[in-house]
Amino acid sequence: MNDSDTPQARQGAALKHLLDTKPGGLLARRWLWRAAALIVIAVAIWLFLRAGEDTAAPRYATEAATVGTLVVKVSATGNLQPTNTVDVGSELSGIVEQVYVDDNDEVKKGQVLARLDLSKLQDAVAKSRASLAAAEAQVLQAQATVAEARATLARYQQVSQLSGGKVPSRTEMDTAEANLKRAEASVASARASVTQARATLQSDETNLGKASIRSPIHGVVLSRQVDPGQTVAASFQAPVLFKLAEDLTKMELQVDVDEADVGQVKAGQRATFSVDAWPGREYTAVITRVGYGAQEAEGVVSYLTVLEVANDDLSLRPGMTGAAEITTLTRENALLVPNAALRFTPATSDDAEKKSGGSVLGALMPRPPRQAKKVQETARDGTQRVWVLRDGQPVAIEVQAAATNGRVTEIVGGPLEAGMQVITETLSARP
């Protein structure tokens, strides 16, 4: 028996013949195919979106908690200065006769740097010496007068003894005694004049010596601000002629430490710094002083901090800008986690997303964006929270955080252990 002779085959052939021969059969067949295609597309879309729901679970980036050395540094910028800078000036007015040094010259203490015109000063010294000689002559004259008055009084006393007090008269005796006292006073006055003349001479000789400008220290001439023939006027203040730096093998780096960091900076801490003149080279320094006086510039408060610098090769020069890194804390064998782990908080989706996932229509409808809570608050006792993955889900762990260097933070309390993977961020869902 042929399959085409079965009742089902005969019924299908009859239906096809009916659709083909009836006027509306062709149109009905087209609508049937279109409806079937729409159903297939809808089912495919629904299955695709449902699969997307299954694969839309968030992924997390993790990093292991490690045991290592925590080094905390504070950055500051400042300028290099000599340990001692001296401005050398002149107490006298006059014309500069000679200048013996120039910039960058090394000088010794007491070395003559420049000399003023000495003519007037030498004349003043000669005049003072003459006045001293005259005063000393007055002393000799006064002493001679004393000797004469004393001799006269002695003769009167002898005559009085021989005459039994009859001669000379009492008035003559009183006059002789007064003459002696006046002569002695003249001697004292003449000696005072000698002292005064000697002081004047000494002052003039001192001024003559000050006409030679000498170095007060061993050092280097940073700048010379005077030339031969220049007139120096020291009426109200001493003009600066030379600027000297004492021993450039030892210098200071004066930096401004921000008020947020000054609490960590203390004398004795070590630092490193670099200068633009020697790229790639690192110098060492030690903090010697942290100032208490605040400095404010453009609304920023800072504190002057002085670092001692060795400059044996004289590669550093006054005024250079140094960028310093001050090591404020070094902690060995510290449990460290990335700072991103302390900032991380798992995202939470809206309820509207849950309601729209149960039907094809809900799957086709656009969904509102996810809103995540990203702010993690720190408790008053310093307790913070990190998250680890357990069975694919983030679980919070309470920890006690301590010092940080801006990249990692030391954990000093809590159940967190080295090697545990802490979540640092949420990644995009799997495609």
Looking at the fold, whether 110 and 220 belong to one and the same domain comes out as: yes
Characterize the bridge pairing of strands 240-245 and 112-116: unpaired
CATH value at residue 393: 2.40.420.20
Quote the pLDDT of residue 252: 95
Of 246, 266, 300, the residue at which a domain comes to its end is 246
CA atoms within 13 A of residue 327's CA, in its CB half-sphere: 14
Looking at the fold, whether 312 and 386 belong to one and the same domain comes out as: no
Looking at the fold, whether 109 and 122 belong to one and the same domain comes out as: no
Quote the pLDDT of residue 234: 81
Q: How far apart are CA 187 and CA 137, in angstroms?
A: 11
Q: pLDDT tens digit string along 124-179?
A: 999 999 999 999 999 999 999 999 999 999 998 999 888 888 888 889 999 999 99
Looking at the fold, whether 98 and 152 belong to one and the same domain comes out as: no
Q: At what angle do helices 170-210 and 119-162 cross, to 10 degrees?
A: 160
Residue 16's domain spans which residues?
A: 3-55
Quote the pLDDT of residue 283: 96
Lowest mean pLDDT among 13-17, 119-123, 128-132, 150-154: 13-17
Q: What is the DSSP string of 304-364?
A: EEEEEEE-TT----TT-EEEEEEEEEEEEEEEEEEHHHHH-------HHHHHTTSSHHHHH
Looking at the fold, whether 286 and 363 belong to one and the same domain comes out as: no
Looking at the fold, whether 221 and 98 belong to one and the same domain comes out as: yes
Quote the pLDDT of residue 18: 47
Q: 226: helix, coil or strand?
A: coil
What's 238's DSSP letter?
P
Looking at the fold, whether 200 and 234 belong to one and the same domain comes out as: no
- Please name the amino acid found at residue 319: G
Residue 63 near residue 424, CB atoms below 8 Å: yes
Looking at the fold, whether 164 and 289 belong to one and the same domain comes out as: no
Asked whether residue 382 carries a pLDDT value surpassing 70, the answer given is no
Characterize the bridge pairing of strands 321-338 and 270-275: antiparallel
Residues with Cβ < 8 Å from 358, sequence gap 6 or more? none
Quote the pLDDT of residue 427: 84
In the chain, % of residues over pLDDT 90: 62
Complete edge-to-edge strand list for the sheet that includes strand 231-232: 212-214, 112-116, 94-99, 231-232
Looking at the fold, whether 344 and 320 belong to one and the same domain comes out as: no
Q: How far apart are CA 218 and CA 83, in angstroms?
A: 12
Asked whether residue 116 carries a pLDDT value surpassing 70, the answer given is yes
Looking at the fold, whether 228 and 205 belong to one and the same domain comes out as: no
Lowest mean pLDDT among 90-99, 255-264, 324-333, 371-380: 371-380
Looking at the fold, whether 124 and 205 belong to one and the same domain comes out as: yes
Q: How far apart are CA 369 and CA 391, in angstroms?
A: 26
Mean pLDDT of the chain: 84
Q: Tokens in use for 349?
A: 């989706």
Query: Where do runs of H (alpha helix) occur along 78-169?
Result: 119-162
Lowest mean pLDDT among 100-114, 324-338, 342-356: 342-356
Looking at the fold, whether 306 and 289 belong to one and the same domain comes out as: yes
Residue 402 near residue 327, CB atoms below 8 Å: no
CATH value at residue 275: 2.40.30.170
CA 68 to mean position of chain CA atoms: 29
Of 331, 362, 392, the residue at which a domain comes to its end is 331
More confident: 68 or 36: 68
Asked whether residue 372 carries a pLDDT value surpassing 60, the answer given is no
Q: How far apart are CA 44 and CA 352, in angstroms?
A: 24
Q: How confident is the model at residue 356 (pLDDT cuts 50, 70, 90)?
A: very low
Nearest to 387 by CA among 376, 371, 378: 376
Quote the pLDDT of residue 44: 72
Given the structure tokens 């070094």, which residue do they identify? 330
What's 382's DSSP letter?
S
Of 304, 331, 358, the residue at which a domain comes to its end is 331
Residue 242 near residue 224, CB atoms below 8 Å: yes
CA angle 421, 425, 427 (to 5 degrees): 110
Nearest to 71 by CA among 386, 341, 407, 300: 407
Q: Which residues sit opposite 310 in a β-bridge?
A: 250
Is residue 164 exposed (0-12), middle (13-18) or buried (19+ Cβ within 10 Å)?
exposed
Q: How confident is the model at residue 373 (pLDDT cuts 50, 70, 90)?
A: very low
Counted domains in the chain: 5
Characterize the bridge pairing of strands 59-64 and 421-427: antiparallel
CB atoms within 10 A of CB 347: 12
Quote the pLDDT of residue 363: 46
